[in-house]
Amino acid sequence: MSKAPNNNWWRGGVIYQIYPRSFADSNGDGVGDLRGITAKLDYVAALGVDGIWLSPFFKSPQKDYGYDVSDYCDVDPMFGTLDDFRALVDKAHRLGLKVMIDQVLSHCSDQHPWFVESRSSHTNSKADWFIWADAKEDGTPPNNWLSIFGGSAWQWDTRRQQYYMHNFLTSQPDLNFHNPEVQQAILDSVKFWLDIGVDGYRLDTANFYFHDQQLRDNPARGRPQVEDPAVAASNPYGWQRHVYDKSRPENLVFLRRLRALVDQYPHTTMVGEIGDDDGLARVAEYTSGNELLHMAYCFDLLGTQHHAEHFHHVISRFEAVAPNGWPCWAYSNHDVVRVASRWSSAVQQPAMLRTMAAVQMSLRGSVCLYQGEELGLPEVDIAYEDLRDPLGITMWPEVKGRDGCRTPMAWDGAAADLGFSSSANPAKPWLPVGESHRALAANAQQAQADSLLHYYQQLLRWRKQYPALTSGTLQVLPAHPQVLAYVREHEGQRVLCVFNLSPEAVRWTPPADVAAAFAQGQWITGSGLPEADAGAVQVDGGVWTLAPWAGVFRRG
């Protein structure tokens, strides 16, 4: 198959994630929809991003809010119609925005016709489309694999008198990618949306497609002694090393088939979500060469750690294991606590959010922004009786679930529902609105010249003026307890990026060769960082004194 041309818009691009249920409600039923998104695309385009990523809007019983698909080739009526989606794509393209959609390929809903038929007998035409296994002699599941949502990854089915595998909810059976017919059906569904005009895909759980056919037990990792993003003490899923239930070598073979299909369409791309024991290494593997994913992200910057040494470790390790790979850096999404709450106190929040955004926009790779991140929206504290997320309902109160980051977008601080609905008499939103979001609503920030929203708009415009920041190489400088520093370079353009990731002033001495290379350079202003524009760095005898949360750029 021949490849279509690709202008690499995604390489160094900024992608804005939209969670359709919570973005904008056009008909007043309390749930966001495609027409609501279309009406707000001017706002997204004005932000300066390159494209949007839409979380699932396919037909679904909504047990996991769209990540349990019952029809891969149609729109759920709560979100609209296929014509509504076509209209959304048309407007996005007129505004210069690319459209990426979320493909949930590893599993589907137990109400999907494929699974309904598969569970009906051992001999039907789709009997082997899912992962079925006999019980052990004592009736227990075939191995020790666990579900991310708690308990065994195996559910007993009384019709087939067998267990079926589910990495997530019991209502989300995993497809058997070892079956060629399954692979082809999935590829056909991907082609369906490409033919409509989408520009790419975010691949949910992109390393989960294949399992070990021998069903061998995962080795133990052990109960963690401390909480970290990879191993949560409250969820025993992290107590195993996931050697056999995901990240299998066959996955790469299928990704090559998927990439070959996508490459037949011009200017398309794929970004994969990687959940793995060693996420950075897996991102490196999955983005190497030109036959697998265009880019991928893992969870190393989606945890609680955000100090300079952590960032230095993540960046330097990625550069070591994937010098030719392409990451997509995300701080927030629909699965984690919002970054404004996860990383800051109210006192340091405004300066911290600006500086951390400047870090994100100057790293080598592409960027994903989650809706409301540009407003600095904090997590909403959801009462147990208002929870919708099955993860939170199951693991409350130690794990409160993902509803707090999925609440309705704050458009109008004066409106009862924050302007979520354009209807005159809207229903109650599907999740409570965040009262703490009123002062941060988009209309309030649009009226404030020094708001975080205007900062993001300025930062994104400024960034595009420097190919070194969007396309260049990255040389990370030696680790420092408070300072993160690196050099970006592209075709002779060199930019030194230095950030004080702490609330105290700090002294920092650049390496001698870097100091010499940038000695005759100039400070770069215009990013929107007050520190960069006001010159909140003092240089005396080769020692830099950086103000709290200062971020500065210097041209070589």
pLDDT digits 0-9 by tens, 289-308: 999 999 999 999 999 999 99
Which range is least confidently modeled, 89-93, 114-118, 527-531?
527-531
Judge whether residue 199 has pLDDT over 90: yes
The model's confidence at residue 231, banded by pLDDT at 50, 70 and 90, is very low
For the chain, what is the radius of gyration of the CA atoms?
Answer: 24
Judge whether residue 151 has pLDDT over 70: yes
Could you tell me where in the chain the CATH 2.60.40.1180 domains are found? 466-555
Look up the CATH number of domain 14-108+178-462.
3.20.20.80
The model's confidence at residue 349, banded by pLDDT at 50, 70 and 90, is confident
Judge whether residue 463 has pLDDT over 80: yes
Neighbours of 501 (CB within 10 A): 27
CB-hemisphere CA count at 13 Å for 67?
Answer: 19
Q: Which of 108, 7, 16, 3 minimizes the C-alpha distance to 366?
A: 16
Q: Which of 64, 273, 285, 374 is catalytic?
A: 273
pLDDT digits 0-9 by tens, 15-33: 999 999 999 999 999 999 9
For residues 535 and 369, which has the higher predicted lDDT (pLDDT)? 369
Judge whether residue 85 has pLDDT over 80: yes
Q: Are 162 and 133 in contact (CB under 8 A)?
A: yes
Judge whether residue 529 has pLDDT over 90: no
Judge whether residue 229 has pLDDT over 50: no
User: What tokens were used for 393?
Assistant: 């309902």
- Please give the average per-residue pLDDT across 392-420, as a whole number: 95
Q: Which of 226, 202, 261, 255 minimizes the C-alpha distance to 66?
A: 202
Give the DSSP letter string of 482-546. SEEEEEEEETTEEEEEEEE-SSS-EEE---HHHHHHHTT-EE---SS-HHHHHT-EEEETTEEEE
pLDDT digits 0-9 by tens, 234-270: 789 999 999 999 999 999 999 999 999 999 999 999 9
Judge whether residue 451 has pLDDT over 70: yes
The model's confidence at residue 536, banded by pLDDT at 50, 70 and 90, is confident
Active site residue 204: yes
Q: Give me the residues paired with residue 158 across strands.
A: none
Could you tell me where in the chain the CATH 3.20.20.80 domains are found? 14-108+178-462
137 Cβ contact list (under 8 Å, min separation 6): none
The model's confidence at residue 1, banded by pLDDT at 50, 70 and 90, is low
Residue with tokens 């950075």, as numbered in its chain: 280
**Considering the chain, what percentage of its residues have pLDDT values greater than 90?**
89
Q: How far apart are CA 498 and CA 454, in angstroms?
A: 22
Neighbours of 193 (CB within 10 A): 19
Which range is least confidently modeled, 15-19, 391-395, 425-429?
391-395
Q: Give me the residues paired with residue 370 across strands.
A: 17
Residue with tokens 């080598």, as numbered in its chain: 364
CB-hemisphere CA count at 13 Å for 168?
Answer: 27
What is the CATH class of 466-555? mainly beta
Q: Which of 33, 64, 68, 204 is catalytic?
A: 204
Which range is least confidently modeled, 98-112, 213-227, 267-281?
213-227
Active site residue 319: no
CA dihedral 220, 224, 230, 233 (to 10 degrees): 110
